[in-house]
Amino acid sequence: MSTTYRQPGVVLTDRTFTVPLDHADPEGETIELYAREVVASKDADRDLPWLVYLQGGPGFGANRFIGRPAWLDRALDEYRVLLLDQRGTGRSTPVNRQTLPLRGGPQAQADHLAHFRGDSIVRDCETIRPLVTGGATWTVLGQSFGGFCAVSYLSMAPEGLTAAVITGGLPSLDAHADDVYRAAYPRIERKVAAHYRRYPQDVERARRIADHLLAHEVTLPNGYRLTVEAFQSLGIVLGGGDGSHRLHFLLENAFVRTPGGPELSDAFQEEVQAQLSFAGHPLYALIHEAIYGQDARPTDWSAERVRAEFPQFDAAKALAGEGPLLFTGETIHPWLFDCDPALRPLRETAELLAARTDWTPLYDRARLAENEVPVAAAVYHDDMYVDTAHALETARSIRGLRTWVTDEFEHDGVRAGGPRVLDRLLALTRDEV
- Residues labelled as active-site residues: 144, 358, 411
What are the backbone angles phi and psi of residue 381, rounded to the nearest 5°?
-60, 125
- Round to whole Å and give the CA distance between 310 and 14: 47
CB 154 within 8 A of CB 371: yes
Chain-centre distance of CA 231, in angstroms?
20
What are the backbone angles phi and psi of residue 166, rounded to the nearest 5°?
-125, 130
Of residues 22, 55, 48, the one with CA closest to residue 127: 22
**Coarse DSSP helix, strand, coil percentages of the chain, rounded to the nearest 5 percent:** 45, 15, 40
Task: Give 77's contacts (C-beta < 8 A, 6+ positions apart).
Answer: 40
Q: What sign results for the dihedral spanned by CA atoms 188, 191, 197, 199?
A: negative
Strands (E), 120-214: 138-143, 161-167
CB 366 within 8 A of CB 391: no
What are the backbone angles phi and psi of residue 382, rounded to the nearest 5°?
60, 35
